[in-house]
C-alpha cells in the first residue's frame, strides 16, 4: 500500500499492510520547531531554518525530505491565518532561544525586561498583545483580555466576532494547499477552522485585537453552567456558519481530504472531566452531530475529535455524535487503559495517537523504555486497523533526540521495515 491507501484502510477499520504514522498533520499531532530541527540534523538533511507554521505552540513544519526520512504517511492542510490572526507567508528569520527559524512577516513581537516575549494579534503592534511566552518557556500562553461583564448587556454576537463565512482569499488558499498536499501521495489531514465549539484555547480570541463577550477561561467554564442559553446561542450561530463554509469548501476540494479536524475542545483532566456526560450531551452534542452528519451525508471525509485527558466516559457520545477518530488517546489518564479502549471501542473509533506517553516516557525515559512502550502500544492498537501511530499530543521542546529516534525506529521495527 502507499501512504494514502494505508490511511484509508485504517480509517475504514481494515488492517493495512503496516501501521501508518502521523507527525505534523495537525496542530495536535505535531512537533516543536526545535525537535523538527534536531531530527533534520539527525537524518543529515539539508541545513536550513525550520518554518514555525503554528506559532501558538511553536510547531515546526515537517517538509517532504523529513517526512520521507521518518516514514510519515500524512500531510496536513491548515487555514491561511494562524491563531494570532496573521497569515503564514513572506517568511523572515528569527533567532528563537538560540535556534535560527523562519516566521511569518506578520509575526511581530516585543520583549519585556524580564525576558518574556509578547506577540500581537494580526501582527499589529498598536493593539494590546494577545500572547505571552514567559522567559525560559518554549511556546505562547494566551493573554486574557476580557472587558468587564454586565449580564444585562451580554450579547452572544460578541462571542461570534471571529466566526463568519469564509472569504475568497482564505478559500483559495485552502484549495491551493489541498492540491499541493494531494500531489504528495500522502493522506491529507485538513483543518478548516470554525468548527471548534468552546475550545478553551480559542475562547480568549488571540486572533482579535479587542475581543468582546465572555473571554476569560474561568468565566467561560462558569457560563457553561450558569449561562447555558447564551452558550447555546453562540454555538447555534457558529454551527450555521460552519455548515455553510463546509459546503463551500467541499464544492471546491471534493473528497481530497481523508480526515478533517473538527474540534479540539478538551473534556478530560488527568483524573476526571470538565463536565458531566449529561452536560456534554446538552451543550456540545447537538452541534457536533449536525456538523458530523453533514460531513458524512455530503463527503467522504472522516471526522477527527481531539480531547485530552480522562475521556473514555464520553466515547459513546462521541460515537453517537458521528466522530470517526479520537485523539490523542491519553493512556496515562484515569480510565484510559489502552487494551480496554481497543476492546470496547476499537471497531467504532480510530485511535489517532496513544503510541507513546509524552509526559514521562518520551521526555524522561530511556530509549529502551520508549521502544518497549511503542511496541506494546502497537501490539494493542494495530490489530484490525483503526490505529494511526502518533505520540500523545505534540512532541515538546527538550525531548531527547535519541528517544524520538527510538520511537520512530520502534514503529518501523513493528512494521517489519528494518529501519535503523
User: Over its length of 420 residues, how does the chain's per-residue pLDDT go in tens digits?
Assistant: 999 999 999 999 999 999 999 999 999 999 999 999 999 999 999 999 999 999 999 999 999 999 999 999 999 999 999 999 999 999 999 999 999 999 999 999 999 999 999 999 999 999 999 999 999 999 999 999 998 999 999 999 999 999 999 999 999 999 999 999 999 999 999 999 999 999 999 999 999 999 999 999 999 999 999 999 999 999 999 999 999 999 999 999 999 999 999 999 999 999 999 999 999 999 999 999 999 999 999 999 999 999 999 999 999 999 999 999 999 999 999 999 999 999 999 999 999 999 999 999 999 999 999 999 999 999 999 999 999 999 999 999 999 999 999 999 999 999 995 333
Name the nearest CA neighbour of 371 among 407, 319, 397, 336.
407
Residue 100 within a domain:
no
Cell, residue 176: 491551493
Q: What are phi and psi of 360, to 5 degrees?
A: -125, -60
CA distance from start to end of the chain: 21
Q: What is the C-alpha separation between 161 and 80, in angstroms, rounded?
A: 18
Residue 280 within a domain:
yes
Looking at residue 419, its pLDDT comes to: 36
Looking at residue 71, its pLDDT comes to: 98
Report how many domains make up the chain.
1
Dihedral sign for Cα atoms in the order 196, 201, 203, 206: negative
Contact 304, 344 (CB under 8 A): no
Looking at residue 418, its pLDDT comes to: 39
Residue 95 within a domain:
no
Burial of 403 (0-12, 13-18, 19+ CB in 10 A): buried
Q: What is the pTM of this model?
A: 0.97
Residue 46 within a domain:
no
Which CATH number fits the domain that encloses residue 403?
A: 3.20.20.210
Residue 255 within a domain:
yes
Residue 56 within a domain:
no
| Residues of the domain holding 393 | 3-31+63-84+144-414
Reduce the secondary structure of the chain to three states and give it as a string: CCHHHHHHHHHCCCCCCCCCECCCCCCCCCEEHHHHHHHHHHCCCCCCCEEEEECCCCEECCCHHHHHHHCCCEEEECCCECCCCCECCCCEEEEECCEEEEECCCCCEEECCCCCEEECHHHCCCCCCCEEECCCCCCCEECCCCCCCCHHHCCHHHHHCCCCCCCHHHHHHHHHHHHHHHCCCCEEEEECCCCCCCCCCCCCCCCCCCCCCCCCHHHHHHHHHHCHHHHHHHHHHHHHHHHHHHHHHHHHHCCCCCEEEEECCCCECCCCECCCHHHHHHHCHHHHHHHHHHHHHHCCCEEEEECCCCCHHHHHHHHHHCCCEEECCCCCCCCCCHHHHHHHHCCCCEEECCCCCCCCHHHHCCHHHHHHHHHHHHHHHCCCCCEEECCCCCECCCCCHHHHHHHHHHHHHHCCCCCC
Residues in the chain, overall count = 420
Residue 115 within a domain:
no
Looking at residue 417, its pLDDT comes to: 53
Looking at residue 227, its pLDDT comes to: 97
Cell, residue 131: 500572547
Contact 393, 308 (CB under 8 A): yes
Amino acid at each position: 500500500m502507499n501512504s494514502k491507501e494505508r490511511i484509508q484502510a485504517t480509517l475504514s477499520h481494515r488492517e493495512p499492510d503496516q501501521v501508518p504514522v502521523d507527525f505534523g498533520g495537525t496542530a495536535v499531532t505535531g512537533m516543536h520547531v526545535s525537535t523538527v530541527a534536531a531530527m533534520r540534523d539527525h537524518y543529515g538533511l539539508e541545513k536550513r531554518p525550520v518554518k514555525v507554521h503554528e506559532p501558538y505552540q511553536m510547531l515546526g513544519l515537517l517538509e517532504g525530505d523529513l517526512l520521507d526520512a521518518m516514514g510519515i504517511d500524512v500531510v496536513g492542510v491548515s487555514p491561511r491565518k494562524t491563531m494570532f490572526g496573521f497569515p503564514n507567508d513572506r517568511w523572515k528569520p528569527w533567532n528563537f532561544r538560540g535556534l535560527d527559524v523562519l516566521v511569518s512577516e506578520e509575526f511581530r513581537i516585543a520583549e519585556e525586561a524580564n525576558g518574556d516575549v509578547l506577540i500581537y494579534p494580526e501582527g499589529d503592534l498598536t493593539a494590546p498583545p494577545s500572547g505571552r511566552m514567559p522567559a525560559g518557556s518554549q511556546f505562547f500562553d494566551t493573554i486574557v483580555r476580557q472587558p468587564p461583564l454586565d449580564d444585562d448587556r451580554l450579547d452572544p454576537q460578541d462571542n461570534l466576532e471571529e466566526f463568519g463565512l469564509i472569504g475568497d482569499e482564505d478559500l483559495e488558499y485552502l484549495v491551493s494547499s489541498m492540491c499541493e498536499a494531494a500531489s504528495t501521495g500522502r493522506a491529507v489531514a485538513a483543518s478548516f477552522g470554525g468548527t471548534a465549539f468552546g475550545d478553551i484555547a480559542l475562547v480568549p480570541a488571540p486572533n482579535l485585537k479587542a475581543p468582546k463577550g465572555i473571554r476569560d477561561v474561568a468565566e467561560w467554564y462558569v457560563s457553561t453552567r450558569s449561562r447555558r442559553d447564551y452558550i447555546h446561542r453562540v454555538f447555534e450561530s457558529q454551527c450555521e456558519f460552519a455548515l455553510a463554509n463546509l459546503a463551500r469548501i467541499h464544492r471546491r476540494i471534493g473528497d481530497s481530504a481523508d480526515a478533517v479536524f473538527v474540534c479540539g475542545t478538551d473534556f478530560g483532566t488527568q483524573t476526571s472531566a470538565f463536565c458531566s456526560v449529561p452536560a456534554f450531551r446538552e451543550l456540545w452534542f447537538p452541534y457536533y452531530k449536525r456538523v458530523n452528519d453533514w460531513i458524512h451525508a455530503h463527503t467522504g471525509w472522516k471526522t477527527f475529535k481531539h480531547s485530552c485527558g480522562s475521556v473514555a466516559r464520553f466515547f459513546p457520545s462521541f460515537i453517537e455524535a458521528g466522530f470517526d477518530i479520537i485523539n490523542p488517546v491519553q493512556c496515562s489518564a484515569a480510565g484510559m487503559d489502552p487494551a480496554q479502549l481497543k476492546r470496547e471501542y476499537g471497531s467504532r473509533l480510530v485511535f489517532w495517537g496513544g503510541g507513546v506517553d509524552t509526559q514521562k516516557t518520551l521526555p524522561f525515559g530511556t530509549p529502551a523504555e520508549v521502544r518497549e512502550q511503542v511496541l506494546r502500544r502497537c501490539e494493542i492498537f494495530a490489530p484490525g486497523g483503526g490505529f494511526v501511530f502518533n505520540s500523545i499530543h505534540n512532541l515538546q521542546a527538550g525531548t531527547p533526540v535519541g528517544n524520538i529516534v527510538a520511537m520512530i525506529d520502534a514503529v518501523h521495527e513493528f512494521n517489519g521495515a528494518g529501519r535503523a
